[in-house]
Chains A and B, each alone.
Chain A
Amino acid sequence: MERAVVCAGFGGQGVLLAGKILARAGMEIGLEVTWLPSYGPEMRGGTANCTVVLSDEPIGSPIVESPDVVMAMNGPSLDRFGPRVVGGGAVIVNRSLIDRGVGRADVREISVPANELARELGEPRVANMIALGAVVGALGIVPLDAVKEAMVAEVGAKARPGLVAVNREALDRGYALAEPMGA
């Protein structure tokens, strides 16, 4: 079993953190994982992405040509990675910022108004956690609880009171939009 996820968006949307939380959760449930970021000028406002590979065997290439799940937080990310999703895979489309779909009959499209839902929760910055919740649902191999624990480990130490709770809620909201298909 080997699955790959690409999280992509604008710099600042928290896509690298979303991927890191997923990778940590995978590690904590005993999987092998790699987290490969795009590094460089992306960190200063351009587009950013990371690739997370989860496997029950040692991982060779951390570069993935055809990911199983893509989390597209903005239009350019959907354009770039949508066509690359493996047939039968899933694309999480951030409907708050993208007014089109992936346009493929062979992949599952999960429409997530991530920014609106985040605003409803009173914390616009958790849009990435809403999308990550949907990724976890679509992926179906990492329990949501493990992802929540990994989230706490990643953001907990520096988070102000209440932020962890709203991040948990954000993961739940996103997860609910992507009914697990199973491994």
Chain B
Amino acid sequence: MADRQLMTGNEAMAEGAIRAGCRAYFGYPITPQNEILEYMAVHLPKVGGAFLQAESEVAAINMCYGAAAAGVRTMTSSSSPGVSLKMEGISYLAGADLPCVILNVARGGPGLGNIAPAQGDYFQATKGGGHGDYRLIVLAPSTAQEAAELAGLAFDLSDQYRVPALILADGMLGQMMEPVALPAQRDPASLPPKPWALTGAKGREPNYIASFALDPTVLRDLNLRRQARYREIEAREVRWEETATEDAEVLLVAYGTMGRIAKTVVRRGRDEGVKVGLLRPITLWPFPYAPLRALAERVRAVLTVELSAGQMWEDVRLAVEGRCPTPFYGEMGGVVPTPSEILREVKRHA
């Protein structure tokens, strides 16, 4: 067995980012993700990286803009209300085609809400919380192990497509500890070069990075090229996990913390002879429409379970397109349903 460490989800994401070559982190404290700042403050300087506690969330995301433009792997993290504050900067990053990783360890909302786990930020993450026609690559880990791995993947995809990537976690994943076999340490110098970055124009043509183009046809063309990249991401980067779907009659769809709780529901349901399966989206954007649609052809119902009033549910219904009933079960405000409660709901549709 690989060497495993007991880590919180927050620490796993922070260490995963460092090992992926993150060398500039900017953040501002907010529960339940403060351990990310603490971890970065201790460990990032040890590898020659820059940690800075900014004066605000807005400042932090704009510091990321600067570091990203300079070609450095950069990250910020926050929790729901703080991520809302970052939305303008995220839109600018998207408009400037800059790679950046944003962690949202989501909590109960709206507004100041509370510090308990919630999934009410799905719309904000996947449908454009800021202004303009843009997308974020959105990854949803369900274990500390996956959190460490997806932190690395977020940097890779963000660099490859020059699209900011957001990891949508929640307070439970952030605070809980699990064994993690950490990914290998990568040297930033070994990463693919970024010829577009602002590194000093001595001996070459200057690079230009902005999210600004006054001429409508120029801005349209920039948008068209960006949209083409989005289509490429949709075609190539959809990730999901299936559990016991082969003969499932009721299909659960759940992500993140709910995704792992749903696994317990599947196991208990199967023990009781209920044919229940699970599709767990790992990428929330691009969403696994096609695999979900294929499963919807042969199940009795697709039951979406979320810590929200039903946000991913809209994508589930877009995927299913009326092929079968699409009931919803959710909790809000930081209340997390138990496996028994969800199993009871599954049985209603079996």
- Contact residues of A with B, CB < 8 Å? 20, 23-24, 27, 30, 32-37, 39-40, 58-63, 65
Q: Is B267's CB under 8 angstroms from A34's CB?
A: no
Whether A39 and B179, one on each chain, are in contact in the complex, defined by CB atoms closer than 8 angstroms, is no
Bound complex: CA of A60 vs CA of B142, how far in Å? Answer: 9
B1: Cβ under 8 A from any A Cβ: yes
Alpha-carbon gap, A53 to B267, bound state (A): 16
The closest CB in chain B to the CB of A32 belongs to B179
B179→A33 contact, CB < 8 A = yes
Residue B54 at the chain A interface, CB threshold 8 Å: no
Return chain A residues, CB-CB under 8 Å to B339.
Answer: 60-61, 63, 65
Of B21-29, B169-177, B190-198, the segment with at least 4 beta carbons within 8 Å of chain A is B169-177
Residue pair A35, B263 in contact (C-beta under 8 Å): no
Which chain B residue shows the least CB distance to A37? Answer: B175
Tell me the number of A-to-B contacts counted with CB atoms below 8 Å.
63
Q: Which residues of the other chain, B, contact A34 by a CB distance below 8 angstroms?
A: 176-178
- How far apart are the CA atoms of A40 and B32 in the complex, in Å? 8
A35-B176, A36-B176, A62-B172 as given contacts; A30 in contact with B261, CB under 8 Å = no
B329-350: which have CB < 8 Å to A?
Answer: 336, 338-340
Decide if B127 is an interface residue (CB 8 Å cutoff).
no
Given A33-B178, A40-B31, A63-B263 contact (CB < 8 Å)? no
User: Which residues of B in the span 230-275 have a Cβ within 8 Å of any Cβ on A?
Assistant: 260-267
- Measured between beta carbons, the chain A residues less than 8 angstroms from B1 are 30
Across the interface, name the chain A residue whose C-beta is closest to B175: A39
A19 to chain B: closest residue by CB? B177
| Residue numbers in A under 8 Å from B336 (CB-CB) | 63
Chain B residues near A23: list those with CB within 8 A: 6, 177
Looking at the complex, which one of A20, A24, A58, A61 makes contact with B261 (CB distance below 8 Å)? A61
B186 in the interface (beta carbon within 8 A): no
A58 contact set on B, CB distance < 8 A:
263
Question: Contact: B31 with A65, CB < 8 Å?
Answer: no
| B76 → A minimal CB distance (Å) | 22
Q: A33-B178, A39-B115, A63-B261 are in contact. List 5 more A-B contacts (CB 8 A).
A: A23-B6, A32-B178, A33-B6, A61-B339, A63-B336
